[in-house]
Structure 1
Amino acid sequence: MTFKAFAVAVSLALMTGLACGSARAEPQVNATYAVYIKGFHVLNAKTSYQLQPWGYGGSTQIKPAGLISWFVTMDVTSHVQGQFIPDGNVQPVLFDSGGISRGKNRHVRLEFSNDTPKVVDLQPPETDREPIPADLLPHTVDTLSGMAHLLHSLATTGKCDGSQVIFDGLRLTQMVVHGPVMVDIPQGQDEAYSGQAMRCDFVGRQVAGFIKDSPNREKLAAPQPGAVWFRKIDGLGIVPVRIEFNHPKLGHVMVVMQHAVAP
C-alpha cells in the first residue's frame, strides 16, 4: 500500500468521529492526532467535523512528522459529505481527497447517485490496477462515510456490530466490526485521555482493486485486525481517542488523540 493509500486509511480511522446519531446539531469539533508506525511518530493529523440531524460533514489533513518530514513530502486533505437515512445507514454524497504524495499532486473525487459511487476524477490515472467490476460498486461507501456509519450505530444502538464494503476510488475493502467492550485506554504515547472507554474491534480485508501481478497480493488480501477506542467527552460527544490496526506492509499502526476542542 502506498503512502497515499495509508493516508486514506488513517483518515478512515480518524473520521470515526463523524456521526453520533444525535437529534440535535452538534458543535464543530477540531481534533489533532499523532500517528505511530512500529513505535515511531511519523505523521500528524488534524480532523474537523460537524453533525446535523440530517447528516454529517468533515475533513482530515495528514502531514509527515519528525525526521520523516525531512525525506517525505506529503500533505493530503480529505473531505466528506453525507446523510443519515432512517434505517440507520449512511448515504454518502461526496468524497474528495487530494494533495502532494510520492512527489506528485494526486486527487480522487467520488460522487454518489442511486447508492452507487462514480469516480469523477482520478489523478494521475493508475492503469496498473485490476479494474473493479461495476456490479460490485452499488451499496459501497467511501472510507470516511464507512466509519461515520460505525459511530452512528454505536451511539444510536449501543453496538458497533456490522459490515460495510469501502471504496476509496481504487480499492474495495470489506470491513467487519464487533463490540463494544469496556476497557481501559492503553497508555504510553502521551494520550490525552485515560480510564475506561468503549473498544470496537474490526477486521479489514481488500477484496478488489489489486495491482496487476503484484507479489504482495496474498499479503494485501489477508485479513488485517484493528481496534478503535471511543470515549464520551463533555461538550464533544463520542469521539475516537485511540486507533490501532495492522498494515499489510508497514506493520503495527497506532493513532493517538492529542487534543480536541469545540470552537
Structure 2
Amino acid sequence: MRMIPTLALAAMMALPALPQATEQATYALTIRGISAGTLRLSGRVEGGRYSANGTLQSGGLVGILRTLRYDAATQGRVSGDRFTPDTYSERADNNGRKRQGTMEYRAGVPQVKAYDPPRRADEDDVNPATQGGTVDPLTALFATLRDVPPGQECGQSQRIFDGRRATEVALSRPSRQGDSVTCAGEYRRVAGYSAREMAEKRVFPFTLRYDPAPNGMMRVTRVTTDTPYGQARLTRR
C-alpha cells in the first residue's frame, strides 16, 4: 500500500493563482486496472487565505486485503501563486496502526508540534529548521489538483516537507493533443530517507493530464505513474 501516498504526493506540483470559490474533487485510484482506493479533496480560497481537507482511503480488492486511511487538514495564507501554510494536521490508520500529528509554521518555517504515539528520532530525519519555504503535502496537493487557466498547466516545482522527509515535485515538457495537455513530472526523494531507500530509487517519473472543464479552465483528470506493483492511476470522477 505504500504506493498510494507516493502517487498522491506525485500529484503535488505547480501552485497557480486561485479564484475565490469552494472546490471539491474525487479521484479513483487503480493499480494495474484494479480498484485500490479513493482520494477526496475539498478546499476554499478567500480573502488571501485558504483551507483544505483531504482523505485518502483504500478500497476495492486492496481494501479487502489491507485497510489504509489518511485524513489531513491545512490552512494558511495565499498571495498570487504562493501558498504559506499556518497549520497542518494528519491522522492515519494503517491496518490498525494509528497515528496523528500536527505542524505549525512560523515565518514560513515548519514546527513539528505533536505526534501520537510519539515517534522515535531517526538519524535520517530532516531538521524542520532547514525547511523554510516548503509546503505541507496537503497544501501542495490541493493547489495542484485545482482548475487552472489555459497555459498554466505545467512548468513549476514544489518543495514539500511532511514532518520527517523532504521531497520535491517538478513538472516540465507540456504536450498538447487536441484539447488535452499532458505534463511530464518527477517525484524526487531529497532527504530523510535511509541510504538503502535512496540507493533503491530516488526519482519516480509520472504524467499529469489536463482536460477542459465546463468553467473554461483546465482540470486535472488523470495522474499516472509506475510502481513496483504495476501502473497506478488517479482518475477524476
> Do the structures match in fold with TM over 0.5?
yes
1:255 aligns with 2:234: yes
Q: Displacement, 1:13?
A: 5.3
1:202 aligns with 2:185: yes
User: Is 2:76 aligned against 1:92?
Assistant: no
Report the AA paired with residue 47 of structure 1: L
- Which of residues 215, 223, 226 in structure 2 aligns to 1:243? 223
How much has 1:173 moved relative to structure 2?
Answer: 0.7
Select which of 47, 58, 61 maps to 1:64.
58
Q: Which amino acid aligns with 2:186?
A: V
Residue ranges of structure 2 left out of the alignment (5+ in a row): none
Shift of 1:244: 1.1
Q: CA deviation at 1:32?
A: 1.9
Q: Which amino acid aligns with 1:120?
A: K
Shift of 1:178: 1.4
Residue in structure 2 matched with residue 120 of structure 1 by the alignment: 113
The structural deviation recorded for 1:167 is 0.7
CA contact (8 A) 1:21 1:152 kept: no
Cα shift readout 1:22-73 (whole Å, capped 9, x = no counterpart) = 4x522x2322221112332111222222232523322221222122222212
Question: What is the TM-score with the length of structure 2 in the denominator?
Answer: 0.83
Partner of 2:17: 21
Q: What is the identity, as a one-letter code, of the residue corresponding to 1:230?
A: Y
- CA deviations over 1:73-107 (Å, ceiling 9, x no partner): 22211122232224x32212222221311321122
From 192, 198, 207, give the equivalent of 1:217. 198
Query: Secondary structure of 1:139's partner?
Result: coil
Q: For the structure 1 residues 236 and 49, does the alpha-carbon distance in structure 2 shift closer, same or farther, using more than 3 Å as the test?
A: farther
Q: 1:110, 1:131 → 2: CA distance? A: 15
**Does the residue aligned with 1:29 lie in a helix, a strand or coil?**
strand
The percentage of counterpart residues that share the same residue type is 20
Taking structure 1 as the reference length, the TM-score comes to 0.75
The answer to whether the Cα contact below 8 Å between 2:8 and 2:141 also exists between their aligned partners in 1 is no
Report the count of equivalent residues. Answer: 236
Residue 143 (structure 2) pairs with residue 143 (structure 1):
no
Aligned position for 2:214: 234
Please state if 1:165 is matched with 2:145. no
Taking a change above 3 Å as real, the CA distance of residues 175 and 199 of structure 1, as seen in their structure-2 partners, is same
The yes-or-no answer on 1:183 pairing with 2:183 is no
- Is the Cα contact below 8 Å between 1:182 and 1:198 reproduced in 2? yes
Q: Provide the rounded CA distance (Å) in 2 between the counterparts of 1:55 and 1:178.
A: 28
Q: Within 5 Å, which residues of 2 pair with 1:35-46?
A: 35-46=29-40
Instruction: Please state how far the C-alpha of 1:224 moved relative to its aligned partner.
Output: 0.9
Amino acid at match of 2:183: C
Please give the per-residue CA displacement for 1:126-185, whole angstroms capped at 9, x wherever unaligned: 53461214553112111232345556895497353122221112211122221433236x
- The one-letter amino acid paired with 1:90 is F
* Partner of residue 55, structure 1: 49
Alignment partners' CA distance in 2, 1:154 and 1:29: 12
Contact residue 33 and residue 256 of structure 1 kept, 8 A: yes
Q: Tell me the residue number matched to 2:168.
A: 174
| Secondary structure class of the residue paired with 1:145 | helix
Per-residue CA deviation, residues 178-214 of structure 1 (Å, 9 max, x unaligned), is: 1433236xxxxxxxxxxx3222221111111114xx6
Change (3 A) 1:235 1:155: closer
Cα distance, 1:109 vs structure 2: 1.8
Tell me which amino acid in the other structure corresponds to 1:206.
R
Q: Which moved more, 1:154-163 or 1:123-132?
A: 154-163
Provide closer, same or farther for how the CA distance between residues 251 and 200 of structure 1 changes in structure 2, counting only shifts above 3 A: same
- Aligned: 1:111 with 2:94: no
